[in-house]
Structure 1
Amino acid sequence: MSTRAEKARANRQRMRAAAQTLFAGRGYSATSMQAIADEAGMAVQTLYFTFRTKRALLSELLDVAIAGDDEPVPTLERPRILAAIDDPDPVAQLHEQARIAREIYERVAPVLQVVAHAAPGDPEIHELWMTNNEQRAVVMERMIAALAAKTPLRDGLGLAMATDVALALQSPEMYQFFTAHRGWSPSRWEQWTADALVAQLLPPR
């Protein structure tokens, strides 16, 4: 990567970090682009040139937090997801799903709170929230289809219901409730979620 590209990438990261700090502290609506630029030590024109809108900045902040990096690789093409899908052991797949979910939520929980709080009063952020939920459902449908190709599901459980169960157990709301309000550690949530996925989706053993 050229020095110029490295600098641009570093500046972009600074702006995202500044936005996350202010969104978490003040809320999305109360944070202006000028305030983000000031926090990042950048000209506000540079911020607008880079992201165009505050909504686009929040969207990228959410995407990077979910992925763990800023590489333009779709979720279903990432090595961890592909490895879980290809694992021949259904129990191992479900444990890896819980592990991946825990790692994502440890990164993304503060950003998701910003989105969730802003969504009711802002149609664009509501759309962002709904898009995130839809993307999560697409990934889960693929994971559950892979699971069902390896093993029969629990009696009476079709693909759609199994997907819904997995989405509920691995939802950000469930993670937030247990870790932020009930004092669970992320690792405890991961173990409980993995055990619950196995119990709810697979036949008794």
Structure 2
Amino acid sequence: MSDVKGRPGQARRERAEATRRKIVDCAYRLFCENGYPSTTMEAIGAAADVAVQTVYYVFRTKAALLREVVETAAAGEHDPPPVAQRTWMRQALTSPDGHRALALTIEHGVDIYARVAPLAATINTAAASDPDIDAYWRGVTDSRRAGMNRLIARLAGHGQLRPGLDPQRATDILVVLYSHETFLGLTRDAGWSVPEYKAWLYETLSRQLLEAKPQSAGATEDLSYHDLLRAH
């Protein structure tokens, strides 16, 4: 009997979740196409085929909706787990091979950049005019640096950093080269493909961060940019 009573409530929750996801997906498309000021909650509601009141009920503000759009785009899925809990990040932080740890981080981290890249102009415009988005994006930037610092600490703890390289300096190098700005400069502005950027980043960071030693082909052989790497 309890199972029968629970079904209507479950159906309502499923419909609500489907509506939420549809709103997010439509908002992503409109933010990418039209930017932040021109993408109204009314336009998002129309694209999602729901009343504007529904959009406000679910997300309250356009800033809150943009935050969820960014989080969903970054993860490539709705309701994603935190980055630190994703399989590839756990593998990167536990791999005994520093090159493999770096290779995995680049493979999956750059994919995040690629999904968020179409929102770059929207995020910058919104951050300049909306304190909530500005605070949110600063938090994203801080979290990204903290994650990179954990990777450097793991490499340093296993004696895999280049001799004489201070971990703080290593983090600075990683943050600047492995950034949204560098990604956009080389892919959007210079026309590089995403695998080309990954291959360049892997080779550059390997030289800048890791101790000099022969690299195992196994570090990258199952990754999208392996065939673009120069023979070592």
Please classify the TM superposition score into its range, dividing by the shorter chain length: over 0.9
1:46 aligns with 2:54: yes
Instruction: Determine helix, strand or coil for the equivalent of 1:69.
Output: coil
1:105 aligns with 2:113: yes
1:127 aligns with 2:135: yes
- Corresponding residue to 2:175 among 164, 167, 181: 167
Structure 1 unaligned blocks of 5 or more: none
Scaled by the length of structure 1, the TM-score of the pair is 0.93
1:199 aligns with 2:199: no
1:179 aligns with 2:187: yes
Distance in 2 between residues matched to 1:76 and 1:165, nearest whole Å = 21
1:86 aligns with 2:94: yes
Opposite residue 162 of structure 2, the aligned amino acid is R
Q: Offset of 1:18 from its aligned partner? A: 1.6
Residue 158 of structure 1: aligned partner: 166
Distance in 1 between residues matched to 2:12 and 2:147, nearest whole Å = 35
Opposite residue 85 of structure 1, the aligned amino acid is L
Identity percentage of aligned residues: 37
User: Is the 2:88–2:105 Cα contact (8 Å) retained in structure 1?
Assistant: no
Scaled by the length of structure 2, the TM-score of the pair is 0.82
Opposite residue 39 of structure 1, the aligned amino acid is A
Structure 2 unaligned blocks of 5 or more: 1-6, 214-232
Distance in 2 between residues matched to 1:84 and 1:116, nearest whole Å = 30
Distance in 1 between residues matched to 2:102 and 2:117, nearest whole Å = 21
Opposite residue 180 of structure 1, the aligned amino acid is R
User: Is the 1:157–1:201 Cα contact (8 Å) retained in structure 2?
Assistant: yes
Opposite residue 134 of structure 2, the aligned amino acid is H
Distance in 2 between residues matched to 1:97 and 1:115, nearest whole Å = 24
Instruction: Determine helix, strand or coil for the equivalent of 2:38.
Output: coil
- Corresponding residue to 2:78 among 55, 70, 77: 70
User: Is the 1:62–1:112 Cα contact (8 Å) retained in structure 2?
Assistant: no
Opposite residue 154 of structure 2, the aligned amino acid is A
- Corresponding residue to 2:144 among 132, 136, 145: 136
Distance in 2 between residues matched to 1:72 and 1:135, nearest whole Å = 16
Distance in 1 between residues matched to 2:120 and 2:159, nearest whole Å = 34
Opposite residue 193 of structure 1, the aligned amino acid is L
Q: Offset of 1:119 from its aligned partner? A: 1.8
Opposite residue 26 of structure 1, the aligned amino acid is N
Which contiguous aligned blocks of 4+ residues in structure 1 show a shift greater than 4 angstroms? none
Alpha-carbon RMSD: 1.7
Residue 219 of structure 2: aligned partner: none
User: Can you list the C-alpha shifts for 1:110-144, whole angstroms capped at 9, x where unaligned?
Assistant: 12331123222332222122111011111111111
